[in-house]
């Protein structure tokens, strides 16, 4: 039986650990602000158009561009380019890294241009296949909006590659600001053009945002060190290595992406507004995922890649374990908080103008179920980075594809039973299977046990979430008894604030007292002059001696 002598949950030196924590914090704040802008965007759509055939067509119009982006680049830009570029820089071959950058951008960019042009002309034939439940008028609108959005994948490809060079150098500002500008442009498109041309105004905003956010802004920030010369060299061994690593991410599928595709495909066959209700619920669910899972994963990959490039496998294993435990803990807390405020959160963000109380109710029903997917979604997002840091992309691709294929009948069956509530439940089950499968596969292939430390993180989170939810529920119940405000966004906001005021101190206090990776992450994010206060309180509660 193999033993694992190194079981520490943090292996990076304190300075590097703090940089990782601050990078994750920066990206988490960016993710939160981006989500807030996304909700402002969706709130404008809901206010102007409500939830119906036109909004369903708008959300559906993203499917073909998203599929094109996924299968021709997708996550391959950051996930496979960062380890290769980082290795070149660390080994003193920076010119080689920039040659790879130029080759990938020119060669694959040319392929993507041809694909976008082909999809533009084929859209009237493809859209009816993707949305069999739409009527002719919806199909015509969806096709028109799809054609407006189609250049987006090309712009995201070029910009994503530039941002990947920044992330490989552990520069996170471009990645943090890019989505903010993208969402801001969509809002401006809707506000300025929406009154005149309806939902098409938002689509023009998408196109402008895809140019300004992912391309122009990162280009300005990286201009001093960016090196690009048009280069097409299919015999380049570095390009072939990149394609070998990226190919499974391009042709394989993951439930992280396909879940949304399933929602749009099956949702087109349900009542008008179903795609919009499920889409809105999904966006709200992704708030805690962005704060915990996505931000941590994006920040951790460069650090894990550096450890892998230096072949420091024990430190990589320890860092991945500690990161997963903290992620599991915080995601459990975040998922519980989301469940607690599912209805008021929905009402506050969306219920105004043409978006009715019934729309809020249907959205909140799906959100209550999706809140249980926050933990698995976050764990999956972080755990798979352990593979990518090792330049191992084929195995998670096969696993992810198998889970998607196995999940498709589940979505169809549960969706047929309960429409969008069934689709939300299928998401919870499918993501749980995906997360557990990823942890198991990493243990089998790379010898690092991850499931145990993840379960400990879940238990830490559950210990904090339970009392926090009770406190939040009691506070909201008391408010409901005393308040005379009518139902609406103002009452919903107050309910959220009251629930958070009761929930947060209880949950955070329990996390700090229990210790673990989540507590270390919380303390690491504090300014240095405040951290000793929590360290001293921990020592007093456990009887540990002070540091000499």
> CB neighbours (10 Å) of residue 545?
6
pLDDT 10s digits, 323-372: 898 889 999 999 999 999 999 999 998 888 788 889 999 999 999 999 99
Residue 62 lies in a domain: yes
Residue 372 lies in a domain: no
Q: How confident is the model at residue 532 (pLDDT cuts 50, 70, 90)?
A: very low
Region 302-317: mean pLDDT is 81
User: CA–CA separation, 141 vs 126, rounded Å?
Assistant: 13
User: Strand, helix or coil at 36?
Assistant: helix
Domain span at 170: 53-232
User: CA–CA separation, 185 vs 116, rounded Å?
Assistant: 22
Q: Which DSSP state fits 544?
A: P
Could you tell me if 444 and 486 are in contact, meaning their C-beta atoms sit under 8 angstroms apart? no
Q: How confident is the model at residue 1 (pLDDT cuts 50, 70, 90)?
A: very low
Residue 21: per-residue pLDDT: 67
Could you tell me if 202 and 62 are in contact, meaning their C-beta atoms sit under 8 angstroms apart? no
Residue 423 pLDDT > 70: yes
**Could you tell me which residues come within 8 angstroms of residue 382 by beta carbon, excluding any fewer than 6 positions away?**
293, 296, 297, 300, 323, 324, 327
Residue 117 pLDDT > 90: yes
Residue 497 lies in a domain: no
Residue 105 lies in a domain: yes
Region 108-117: mean pLDDT is 90
User: CA–CA separation, 76 vs 250, rounded Å?
Assistant: 7
Residue 524: per-residue pLDDT: 46
Region 418-437: mean pLDDT is 94
Q: Which DSSP state fits 270?
A: S
Residue 269: per-residue pLDDT: 87
Q: Which DSSP state fits 340?
A: H
pTM over 0.75: no
Q: Where are the alpha helices (DSSP H) in 353-450?
A: 357-370, 374-389, 394-446
- CA torsion, ordered 158, 163, 167, 169, to nearest 10 deg: 90
Residue 230: per-residue pLDDT: 81
Could you tell me if 509 and 518 are in contact, meaning their C-beta atoms sit under 8 angstroms apart? no
Residue 492 lies in a domain: no
Residue 453 pLDDT > 90: no
Q: What is the DSSP string of 246-311?
A: HHHHHHS--HHHHHHHHHHHHHTTSSTTHHHHHHHHHHHHHHHIIIIIIHHHHHHHHHHHHHHHTT
Domain count, the chain: 1
Residue 546: per-residue pLDDT: 38
Is the pLDDT higher at 68 or at 223?
68
pLDDT 10s digits, 254-290: 888 889 889 988 988 888 888 899 989 998 998 889 8
Percent of the chain with pLDDT over 90: 32
Residue 267 lies in a domain: no
Q: How confident is the model at residue 7 (pLDDT cuts 50, 70, 90)?
A: very low
Region 451-466: mean pLDDT is 90
264 token code pair = 């749009």
Residue 501: per-residue pLDDT: 93
Residue 287 lies in a domain: no
First-to-last C-alpha distance (Å) of the chain: 40
Per-residue CA distances from 187 to 45, 151, 206 (Å): 9, 19, 9
Q: Helix, strand, coil % (nearest 5) of the chain?
A: 85, 0, 15
pLDDT 10s digits, 129-161: 999 888 899 999 999 999 999 999 889 888 888
Region 185-211: mean pLDDT is 89
Q: Which DSSP state fits 1?
A: -
Average pLDDT of the residues of the chain: 83
Residue 410 lies in a domain: no
Residue 52 dihedral angles phi and psi, to the nearest 5°: -170, -160
Longest dimension (CA), the chain: 76
Closest residue by Cα to residue 288 from 336, 237, 350, 243: 336
Residue 75: per-residue pLDDT: 52
């Amino acid at each position: 039986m193999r033993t694992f002598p190194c079981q520490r949950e943090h292996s990076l030196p304190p300075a590097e650990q703090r940089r990782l924590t601050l990078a994750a914090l920066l990206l988490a704040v960016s993710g939160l602000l981006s989500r807030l802008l996304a909700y402002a965007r969706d709130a404008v759509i809901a206010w102007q158009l409500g939830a119906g055939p036109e909004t369903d067509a708008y959300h559906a119009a993203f499917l073909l561009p998203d599929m094109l982006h996924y299968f021709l680049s997708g996550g391959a830009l950051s996930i496979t380019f960062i380890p290769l570029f980082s290795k070149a820089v660390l080994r003193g071959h920076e010119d080689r890294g920039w040659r790879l950058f130029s080759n990938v951008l020119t060669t694959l960019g040319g392929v993507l241009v041809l694909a976008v042009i082909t999809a533009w002309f084929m859209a009237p034939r493809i859209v009816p296949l993707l949305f069999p439940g739409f009527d002719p008028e919806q199909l015509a609108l969806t096709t028109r909006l799809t054609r407006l959005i189609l250049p987006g994948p090309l712009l995201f490809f070029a910009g994503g590659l530039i941002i990947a060079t920044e992330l490989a150098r552990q520069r996170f500002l471009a990645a943090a600001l890019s989505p903010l500008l993208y969402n801001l442009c969509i809002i401006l498109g809707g506000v300025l053009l929406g009154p005149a041309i309806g939902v098409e105004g938002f689509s023009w905003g998408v196109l402008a945002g895809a140019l300004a956010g992912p391309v122009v802004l990162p280009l300005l920030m990286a201009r001093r060190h960016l090196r690009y010369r048009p280069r097409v060299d299919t015999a380049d061994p570095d390009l072939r290595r990149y394609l070998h690593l990226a190919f499974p991410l391009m042709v394989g599928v993951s439930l992280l992406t396909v879940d949304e595709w399933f929602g749009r495909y099956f949702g087109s066959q349900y009542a008008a507004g179903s795609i919009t209700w499920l889409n809105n619920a999904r966006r709200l669910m992704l708030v805690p995922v962005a704060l915990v899972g996505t931000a941590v994963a994006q920040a951790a990959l460069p650090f894990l890649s550096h450890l892998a490039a230096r072949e420091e496998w024990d430190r990589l294993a320890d860092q991945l374990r500690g990161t997963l435990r903290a992620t599991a803990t915080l995601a459990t807390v975040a998922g519980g908080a989301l469940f607690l405020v599912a209805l008021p959160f929905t009402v506050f963000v969306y219920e105004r103008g043409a978006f009715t109380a019934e729309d809020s109710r249907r959205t909140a029903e799906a959100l209550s179920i999706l809140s249980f997917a926050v933990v698995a979604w976050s764990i999956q997002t972080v755990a798979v980075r352990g593979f990518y840091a090792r330049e191992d992309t084929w195995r998670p691709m096969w696993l992810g594809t198998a889970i998607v294929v196995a999940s498709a009948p589940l979505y169809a069956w549960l969706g047929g039973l309960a429409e969008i509530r069934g689709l939300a439940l299928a998401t919870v089950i499918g993501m749980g299977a995906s997360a557990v499968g990823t942890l198991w596969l990493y243990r089998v292939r790379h010898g690092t046990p991850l499931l145990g430390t993840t379960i400990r993180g879940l238990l830490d989170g559950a210990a904090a979430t339970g009392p926090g939810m009770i406190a939040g529920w009691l506070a909201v119940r008391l408010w409901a008894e005393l308040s005379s405000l009518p139902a609406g966004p103002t009452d919903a906001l107050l309910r959220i604030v009251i629930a958070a005021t009761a929930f947060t101190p209880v949950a955070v206090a329990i996390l700090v007292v229990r210790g673990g990776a989540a507590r270390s992450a919380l303390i690491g994010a504090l300014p240095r002059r405040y951290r000793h206060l929590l360290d001293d309180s921990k020592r007093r509660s456990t009887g540990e001696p002070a540091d000499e």
